[in-house]
Amino acid sequence: MAKIVVEHLKYRYPLTDELALKDISFTIEPGEFIGIIGENNAGKSTLCQALVGIIPNFYKGAYGGKVFIDDLEVAKHSISEVCRKVGIVFQNPFNQVTGSKLTVYEEIAFGLENMGLSRTEMMERIDYSLKLLDIYQYKDRNPFDLSGGQMQRMAIASIIAMRPEVIILDEPTSQLDPQGSEEVFRAVQSLSQEGISILMVEHKMEKIAAYSDRVMLLKDGKMVAFDTPQKVFSLENLEQYGVNAPAFTRICKKLGIKNQKNGCYPVTLEEAEGAINLLKNGGIADE
Protein backbone atom coordinates (compact mmCIF):
# COMPACT_ATOMS: atom_id res chain seq x y z
CA MET A 1 0.00 0.00 0.00
CA ALA A 2 1.17 3.53 -0.75
CA LYS A 3 2.71 5.43 2.19
CA ILE A 4 1.80 8.91 1.02
CA VAL A 5 -1.13 9.87 -1.18
CA VAL A 6 -1.64 13.47 -2.29
CA GLU A 7 -4.83 14.31 -4.18
CA HIS A 8 -5.41 17.63 -5.95
CA LEU A 9 -3.55 19.64 -3.33
CA LYS A 10 -4.00 23.40 -3.66
CA TYR A 11 -2.85 26.10 -1.30
CA ARG A 12 -2.67 29.89 -1.09
CA TYR A 13 -0.92 31.79 1.74
CA PRO A 14 -3.02 34.39 3.60
CA LEU A 15 -2.99 37.87 2.03
CA THR A 16 -1.51 36.63 -1.26
CA ASP A 17 -3.09 36.45 -4.72
CA GLU A 18 -1.46 33.44 -6.28
CA LEU A 19 -1.67 29.78 -5.38
CA ALA A 20 1.65 28.48 -4.02
CA LEU A 21 0.55 24.90 -4.79
CA LYS A 22 -1.56 24.25 -7.87
CA ASP A 23 -3.44 20.97 -8.01
CA ILE A 24 -0.68 18.54 -7.08
CA SER A 25 -1.31 14.77 -7.02
CA PHE A 26 1.11 11.86 -6.48
CA THR A 27 1.71 8.70 -4.45
CA ILE A 28 4.85 7.50 -2.74
CA GLU A 29 5.69 3.95 -1.64
CA PRO A 30 7.37 2.87 1.60
CA GLY A 31 11.17 3.06 1.30
CA GLU A 32 11.20 5.32 -1.75
CA PHE A 33 13.84 8.07 -1.91
CA ILE A 34 12.26 11.06 -3.64
CA GLY A 35 14.29 14.10 -4.70
CA ILE A 36 12.35 17.36 -4.97
CA ILE A 37 13.87 20.01 -7.25
CA GLY A 38 12.88 23.33 -8.75
CA GLU A 39 13.87 26.97 -8.88
CA ASN A 40 13.58 29.42 -5.97
CA ASN A 41 9.97 30.08 -4.95
CA ALA A 42 8.71 27.07 -6.94
CA GLY A 43 6.81 25.80 -3.88
CA LYS A 44 9.18 23.15 -2.54
CA SER A 45 9.10 24.25 1.10
CA THR A 46 5.37 24.87 0.92
CA LEU A 47 4.82 21.28 -0.26
CA CYS A 48 7.01 19.97 2.58
CA GLN A 49 4.96 21.89 5.11
CA ALA A 50 1.71 20.61 3.64
CA LEU A 51 2.91 17.01 4.00
CA VAL A 52 3.33 17.39 7.78
CA GLY A 53 0.18 19.45 8.26
CA ILE A 54 1.90 22.73 9.21
CA ILE A 55 -0.21 23.80 6.24
CA PRO A 56 -3.20 24.16 6.90
CA ASN A 57 -2.98 23.73 10.70
CA PHE A 58 -0.46 26.49 11.41
CA TYR A 59 -0.46 28.58 8.23
CA LYS A 60 -4.09 29.35 7.42
CA GLY A 61 -5.02 30.62 3.97
CA ALA A 62 -6.95 28.75 1.30
CA TYR A 63 -6.54 24.96 1.22
CA GLY A 64 -7.98 22.35 -1.10
CA GLY A 65 -7.42 18.64 -1.80
CA LYS A 66 -6.16 15.87 0.50
CA VAL A 67 -2.90 14.58 1.94
CA PHE A 68 -2.79 11.09 3.45
CA ILE A 69 0.00 9.40 5.37
CA ASP A 70 -1.25 5.79 5.40
CA ASP A 71 -4.90 6.36 6.26
CA LEU A 72 -4.32 9.49 8.31
CA GLU A 73 -5.55 12.65 6.62
CA VAL A 74 -3.14 15.32 7.80
CA ALA A 75 -5.50 18.34 7.60
CA LYS A 76 -7.87 16.60 10.02
CA HIS A 77 -5.25 15.87 12.69
CA SER A 78 -3.05 18.02 14.90
CA ILE A 79 0.54 18.69 13.86
CA SER A 80 1.79 16.72 16.86
CA GLU A 81 -0.20 13.64 15.80
CA VAL A 82 1.17 13.82 12.26
CA CYS A 83 4.71 14.34 13.55
CA ARG A 84 4.63 10.94 15.22
CA LYS A 85 4.69 9.46 11.72
CA VAL A 86 6.48 12.17 9.74
CA GLY A 87 9.63 14.07 10.69
CA ILE A 88 10.71 17.28 8.97
CA VAL A 89 14.10 18.98 8.82
CA PHE A 90 13.50 22.66 8.11
CA GLN A 91 15.32 24.64 5.44
CA ASN A 92 16.84 26.96 8.05
CA PRO A 93 18.19 24.83 10.93
CA PHE A 94 17.95 27.87 13.18
CA ASN A 95 14.14 27.52 13.03
CA GLN A 96 14.40 23.95 14.29
CA VAL A 97 16.12 24.81 17.58
CA THR A 98 13.70 24.86 20.52
CA GLY A 99 15.54 27.73 22.20
CA SER A 100 14.69 26.28 25.60
CA LYS A 101 17.40 23.61 25.88
CA LEU A 102 20.89 24.36 27.12
CA THR A 103 22.79 21.55 25.42
CA VAL A 104 22.84 19.74 22.11
CA TYR A 105 22.13 16.51 24.00
CA GLU A 106 18.94 17.85 25.61
CA GLU A 107 17.89 19.30 22.27
CA ILE A 108 17.93 15.82 20.67
CA ALA A 109 16.28 14.31 23.76
CA PHE A 110 13.41 16.81 23.53
CA GLY A 111 11.87 15.19 20.48
CA LEU A 112 11.97 11.75 22.11
CA GLU A 113 10.42 12.78 25.41
CA ASN A 114 6.80 11.92 24.75
CA MET A 115 7.39 8.78 22.74
CA GLY A 116 7.22 6.39 25.71
CA LEU A 117 10.74 5.08 25.24
CA SER A 118 12.81 3.50 28.01
CA ARG A 119 15.73 5.55 29.30
CA THR A 120 18.27 3.18 27.78
CA GLU A 121 16.54 3.22 24.42
CA MET A 122 16.46 7.01 24.49
CA MET A 123 20.15 7.28 25.33
CA GLU A 124 21.06 4.77 22.64
CA ARG A 125 19.15 6.68 20.00
CA ILE A 126 20.65 10.03 21.00
CA ASP A 127 24.22 8.70 21.01
CA TYR A 128 23.66 6.92 17.71
CA SER A 129 22.31 9.96 15.88
CA LEU A 130 24.93 12.33 17.34
CA LYS A 131 27.68 9.99 16.18
CA LEU A 132 26.06 9.45 12.79
CA LEU A 133 26.14 13.22 12.18
CA ASP A 134 29.63 13.53 13.68
CA ILE A 135 28.68 16.00 16.43
CA TYR A 136 28.97 13.70 19.47
CA GLN A 137 31.90 15.76 20.74
CA TYR A 138 29.65 18.83 20.98
CA LYS A 139 26.86 17.15 22.97
CA ASP A 140 27.33 19.43 26.00
CA ARG A 141 27.56 22.66 24.00
CA ASN A 142 24.80 25.26 23.83
CA PRO A 143 22.98 24.77 20.47
CA PHE A 144 23.42 28.46 19.64
CA ASP A 145 27.21 28.18 20.05
CA LEU A 146 27.48 25.69 17.18
CA SER A 147 28.82 26.64 13.76
CA GLY A 148 26.19 26.84 10.98
CA GLY A 149 27.01 23.40 9.63
CA GLN A 150 27.07 21.85 13.09
CA MET A 151 23.61 23.27 13.77
CA GLN A 152 22.32 21.78 10.53
CA ARG A 153 23.79 18.42 11.57
CA MET A 154 21.96 18.71 14.90
CA ALA A 155 18.65 19.38 13.14
CA ILE A 156 19.08 16.22 11.06
CA ALA A 157 20.18 14.18 14.08
CA SER A 158 17.11 15.20 16.07
CA ILE A 159 14.78 13.85 13.38
CA ILE A 160 16.74 10.64 12.77
CA ALA A 161 16.64 9.90 16.51
CA MET A 162 12.84 9.89 16.35
CA ARG A 163 12.79 7.20 13.63
CA PRO A 164 9.60 8.38 11.94
CA GLU A 165 8.07 6.36 9.07
CA VAL A 166 8.50 9.27 6.67
CA ILE A 167 11.32 11.83 6.72
CA ILE A 168 11.12 15.14 4.87
CA LEU A 169 14.35 17.10 4.48
CA ASP A 170 14.27 20.65 3.13
CA GLU A 171 17.77 21.37 1.79
CA PRO A 172 19.41 19.58 4.72
CA THR A 173 22.97 19.82 3.41
CA SER A 174 23.10 23.46 2.29
CA GLN A 175 25.64 24.34 5.00
CA LEU A 176 27.54 21.06 5.19
CA ASP A 177 31.09 20.50 4.02
CA PRO A 178 31.36 18.27 0.90
CA GLN A 179 32.18 15.05 2.76
CA GLY A 180 29.50 15.77 5.37
CA SER A 181 26.88 16.20 2.71
CA GLU A 182 27.89 12.92 1.05
CA GLU A 183 27.63 11.19 4.45
CA VAL A 184 24.14 12.60 5.01
CA PHE A 185 22.97 11.31 1.62
CA ARG A 186 24.38 7.86 2.43
CA ALA A 187 22.79 7.82 5.89
CA VAL A 188 19.43 8.87 4.47
CA GLN A 189 19.70 6.25 1.74
CA SER A 190 20.24 3.53 4.33
CA LEU A 191 17.11 4.73 6.18
CA SER A 192 15.16 4.41 2.95
CA GLN A 193 16.51 0.88 2.53
CA GLU A 194 15.04 0.10 5.96
CA GLY A 195 11.63 1.10 4.59
CA ILE A 196 11.42 4.75 5.62
CA SER A 197 10.04 6.98 2.85
CA ILE A 198 12.31 9.94 2.14
CA LEU A 199 11.47 13.24 0.47
CA MET A 200 14.45 15.51 0.10
CA VAL A 201 14.52 19.01 -1.39
CA GLU A 202 17.96 19.80 -2.85
CA HIS A 203 19.77 22.08 -5.27
CA LYS A 204 22.73 19.65 -5.44
CA MET A 205 21.68 17.95 -8.66
CA GLU A 206 24.65 15.55 -8.82
CA LYS A 207 23.59 14.09 -5.46
CA ILE A 208 19.89 13.98 -6.34
CA ALA A 209 20.81 12.11 -9.53
CA ALA A 210 22.93 9.60 -7.64
CA TYR A 211 20.57 8.87 -4.76
CA SER A 212 16.92 9.41 -5.77
CA ASP A 213 14.61 6.65 -6.97
CA ARG A 214 12.41 9.34 -8.52
CA VAL A 215 12.73 13.09 -8.96
CA MET A 216 9.83 15.52 -8.60
CA LEU A 217 10.24 18.78 -10.52
CA LEU A 218 8.20 21.78 -9.36
CA LYS A 219 7.71 25.09 -11.16
CA ASP A 220 5.38 27.93 -10.12
CA GLY A 221 3.50 25.68 -7.72
CA LYS A 222 2.89 22.94 -10.29
CA MET A 223 4.39 19.48 -10.53
CA VAL A 224 5.84 19.43 -14.04
CA ALA A 225 7.65 16.06 -13.92
CA PHE A 226 7.91 13.07 -11.60
CA ASP A 227 10.14 10.34 -13.00
CA THR A 228 13.56 8.66 -12.80
CA PRO A 229 16.57 11.01 -12.52
CA GLN A 230 17.66 9.94 -16.04
CA LYS A 231 14.31 10.94 -17.55
CA VAL A 232 13.95 14.22 -15.64
CA PHE A 233 17.50 15.43 -16.26
CA SER A 234 17.22 14.52 -19.95
CA LEU A 235 14.20 16.81 -20.43
CA GLU A 236 14.93 19.14 -23.34
CA ASN A 237 13.38 22.17 -21.66
CA LEU A 238 14.94 21.64 -18.22
CA GLU A 239 16.49 25.12 -18.21
CA GLN A 240 13.10 26.73 -18.73
CA TYR A 241 12.09 25.18 -15.43
CA GLY A 242 15.02 26.95 -13.77
CA VAL A 243 17.05 23.79 -13.17
CA ASN A 244 20.59 23.06 -14.25
CA ALA A 245 21.26 19.36 -14.94
CA PRO A 246 24.15 17.62 -13.10
CA ALA A 247 27.62 18.59 -14.43
CA PHE A 248 27.99 15.03 -15.78
CA THR A 249 24.77 15.34 -17.77
CA ARG A 250 25.72 18.78 -19.14
CA ILE A 251 29.04 17.35 -20.34
CA CYS A 252 27.36 14.41 -22.06
CA LYS A 253 24.73 16.65 -23.67
CA LYS A 254 27.48 18.83 -25.13
CA LEU A 255 29.30 15.75 -26.41
CA GLY A 256 26.08 14.23 -27.74
CA ILE A 257 26.41 11.03 -25.69
CA LYS A 258 23.14 9.26 -24.88
CA ASN A 259 22.47 5.89 -23.39
CA GLN A 260 21.40 3.85 -26.42
CA LYS A 261 19.02 1.66 -24.45
CA ASN A 262 16.80 4.25 -22.81
CA GLY A 263 17.59 7.35 -24.89
CA CYS A 264 18.58 9.30 -21.76
CA TYR A 265 21.76 11.20 -20.93
CA PRO A 266 24.11 9.88 -18.23
CA VAL A 267 23.42 11.57 -14.88
CA THR A 268 26.03 10.23 -12.45
CA LEU A 269 29.84 10.21 -12.29
CA GLU A 270 29.88 6.46 -13.01
CA GLU A 271 27.50 6.68 -15.96
CA ALA A 272 29.46 9.58 -17.49
CA GLU A 273 32.76 7.76 -16.97
CA GLY A 274 31.44 4.67 -18.74
CA ALA A 275 29.93 6.64 -21.61
CA ILE A 276 33.06 8.74 -22.25
CA ASN A 277 35.30 5.67 -22.18
CA LEU A 278 33.02 4.05 -24.73
CA LEU A 279 33.24 7.17 -26.91
CA LYS A 280 37.05 7.15 -26.72
CA ASN A 281 37.13 3.53 -27.82
CA GLY A 282 35.23 4.42 -30.97
CA GLY A 283 31.76 3.74 -29.55
CA ILE A 284 28.57 5.54 -30.40
CA ALA A 285 27.74 9.21 -30.10
CA ASP A 286 24.96 10.99 -31.90
CA GLU A 287 25.33 14.72 -32.44
Ligand X SMILES: Nc1ncnc2c1ncn2[C@@H]1O[C@H](COP(=O)(O)OP(=O)(O)OP(=O)(O)O)[C@@H](O)[C@H]1O
Interacting residue ranges for ligand X, rule: CB under 6 A: 13, 16, 20, 38, 40-46, 91, 145-150, 175
CA dihedral (265, 269, 270, 275) in degrees, to 10, reads: 40
Collapse the DSSP code of 104 into the 3-class scheme (helix H, G, I; strand E, B; otherwise coil) and give the result: helix
Tell me the sheet residues that pair with 168.
Answer: 88, 199
Q: Which residues of the shown chain bind Mg ion in the complex (CB under 5 A)?
A: 44-45, 91, 147-148
Among 11, 51, 53, 91, binds other proteins (CB under 8 A): 91
Among 84, 85, 139, 203, binds other proteins (CB under 8 A): 203
Alpha-helix residue ranges (DSSP H) falling in 133-246: 148-162, 178-193, 205-211, 229-233
> Per-residue contact track with other proteins, 14 to 43, x per CB under 8 A?
------------------------xxxx--
Burial of 4 (0-12, 13-18, 19+ CB in 10 A): buried
Nearer to other proteins, 28 or 210 (CB): 210
Residue 166 host element (H or E): strand 166-170
Nearer to ligand X, 151 or 252 (CB): 151
User: Which partner, Mg ion, ligand X, other proteins, none, binds residue 163 by CB below 5 to 8 Å per kind?
Assistant: none
Q: What is the arrangement of strands in the sheet containing 214-219, beginning at the earlier edge strand? A: 86-89, 166-170, 197-201, 33-37, 214-219, 222-227
Nearer to Mg ion, 91 or 181 (CB): 91
Instruction: Find the shortest distance in angstroms from Cβ 45 to Mg ion.
Output: 3
Q: What share of the chain is helix, strand, coil (3-state, %, to 5)?
A: 45, 20, 35
CA 181/CA 175 separation, integer angstroms: 9
CA 16/CA 11 separation, integer angstroms: 11
User: Which partner, Mg ion, other proteins, ligand X, none, binds residue 283 by CB below 5 to 8 Å per kind?
Assistant: none
**Judged by CB under 8 A, which stretch of 101-109, 155-163, 167-175, 192-200 contacts other proteins?**
167-175
220-249: which residues touch other proteins (CB under 8 A)?
A: 242-244, 246-248
CA 194/CA 92 separation, integer angstroms: 27
Instruction: Find the shortest distance in angstroms from Cβ 44 to other proteins.
Output: 9
User: Which partner, Mg ion, other proteins, ligand X, none, binds residue 268 by CB below 5 to 8 Å per kind?
Assistant: none
131-160: which residues touch other proteins (CB under 8 A)?
A: 145, 147-150, 153
Instruction: Find the shortest distance in angstroms from Cβ 132 to ligand X.
Output: 17
Among 157, 166, 235, 276, binds other proteins (CB under 8 A): 276
Residue closest to 151 by CA, chosen among 168, 123, 172, 132: 172
